[in-house]
Amino acid sequence: MQAWWLVPFCKTLHYFGIAVLVGIVGLVDLRIFGVAKALPLRPLQRLMPWAVVSFLVSAASGYVLLRINPANSLGPPVNIAFAAKIVCLVLVGLNDVLYFSTGLKRQVDGVGAGESTSASAKIVAAVSIALWIGVVYWSRMMTFLAGAI
Amino acid sequence: MHIVDILQQWSDTNAFFIWLRESPSVWAYPMVFFAHTLGLAFTAGASVVIDARLLGAAGFVPVAPLARYFRAIWIGVWLTVVSGLVMLGSDPQTKLTNHLFPLKMLFVVAAIALTAALRGRVASAGVESNVPPVLRALAAMSLLCWLGAVAAGKFMAYF
């Protein structure tokens, strides 16, 4: 039997980690779309290690929550919201691999103050925003769709 | 009659809130809750990152242009507040009598006020890397209030 505060504490860490992550992704992606154009993209993208740390905080606290109550996310019955959340996270990973491996990240690093980004950078940013919104949506739906199938 | 009872009675007989509570549709209550979750995630997350910059972290990011993000943050605030009020309206008694609710509201109101106070000050911060002490103090309070609001929101379900 764990302490009563362990679950809400882990949920706080889990949500706060996602919030900072979505905050950083939002700031970078919005700049790629032309918001706050006076910011050069190179320093902004240097915030990415922070996003990785936030992800690790969320992943670790999420793992603890999963271990405390595995049925909530893993079922049975299968929680389709949790499955969809993991699919979104895998797609986020693929999108990031694409962003770094194609040299697009380096190209965006060269976008200075007042300059616009390429169409391909905007597409990757749009996919990134859509997938993170998906992660949050399916996280929320885990409560409502538990036991749906 | 107590104000909480009046609100509860109004909610119990209001067609919109009856639909919101009783509809099995994922477009009803779950969508409002999702809007709240997403709005707060971006608002709190982006605010905390800007607060951290003002407190001296990530010195390589220029401060003044960050002011342009406040319009998006403000949209997030509205999304969170409106969806929060709708959820409050659908279940006033449970939420208003929760012992953590006043604390959460204190954090939220303070965080929003600090966001408003920060907006203009960030815009006029200039390009030099040293942030004025007043701005740092506001940023520190903002960071604590957003963290407090998130924690209070999560802990409310356990009180």
Over residues A110-115, the mean pLDDT reads: 92
Identify the closest residue of chain B to A130 by CA–CA distance: B38
B-chain residues near A39 (CB < 8 A): 61-62, 65-66, 68
Q: Share the mean pLDDT of chain B.
A: 93
Q: How confident is the model at residue B126 (pLDDT cuts 50, 70, 90)?
A: low
Q: Which residue has the higher pLDDT, B129 or B73?
A: B73
| Partner residue facing B154 (CB), from A11, A43, A44 | A11
Question: CB-based contacts of B104: which residues, under 8 Å, 6+ apart?
Answer: B148, B149, B152, B153, B156
Helices marked H in B91-100 — which ranges?
A: 92-96
Task: Say yes or no to pLDDT of B69 above 70.
Answer: yes
| B114 touches B136 (CB < 8 A) | no
pLDDT digits (tens, 9 = 90+) for B24-65: 999 999 999 999 999 999 999 999 999 999 998 998 999 999
From the CA of A81, how many Å to the nearest CA of chain B? 12
pLDDT digits (tens, 9 = 90+) for A26-85: 999 999 999 999 999 999 999 999 999 999 999 999 999 999 988 888 878 888 999 999
From the CA of A2, how many Å to the nearest CA of chain B? 14
pLDDT at B127: 61
| Partner residue facing A23 (CB), from B34, B45, B71 | B45
CB contact under 8 A, B61 and A15: no
Identify the closest residue of chain A to B38 by CA–CA distance: A136
From the CA of B66, how many Å to the nearest CA of chain A? 7
CB contact under 8 A, A26 and B42: yes
Task: Say yes or no to pLDDT of B77 above 80.
Answer: yes
| Partner residue facing B150 (CB), from A15, A36, A47 | A15
pLDDT at A1: 62
CB contact under 8 A, B41 and A47: no
Q: Which residue has the higher pLDDT, B158 or A15?
A: A15
CB contact under 8 A, A39 and B65: yes
Over residues B120-133, the mean pLDDT reads: 79
Q: Indicate if ipTM > 0.90.
A: yes
pLDDT digits (tens, 9 = 90+) for A2-31: 788 999 999 999 999 999 999 999 999 999
A-chain residues near B71 (CB < 8 A): 35
Global pTM reads 0.93
pLDDT at B50: 96
